[in-house]
Amino acid sequence: MADDDPWRGWPVGARAMVRRRLPEGDTHRFTDVVGDLIEVDDDGLLLRTRRHGDVRVPGDQIAIGKLVPRPRR
């Protein structure tokens, strides 16, 4: 993993969208994970999602991502 991966600097508690690479052989190449950042470390991200609870995304599976605003309610 490169030290310049933007997600490494994201603050815990922020809301993020991460495009995750899926294993070869899956019908799709990517899937998106949206949630609140619970943990950011050298191994990747832990996001708390509404649908699937806590989801770990390893750093080598992160294709792209960005911080996003919280939904309006």
The domain limits of the chain are 6-67
pTM of the full structure: 0.86
- Domain 6-67 top-level CATH class: mainly beta
CB 12 within 8 Å of CB 37: yes
Give, for all 73 residues of the chain, the pLDDT tens digit: 456 799 999 999 999 999 999 988 889 999 999 999 999 999 999 999 999 999 999 999 999 999 999 888 7
| Rounded CA separation 24/28 (Å) | 9
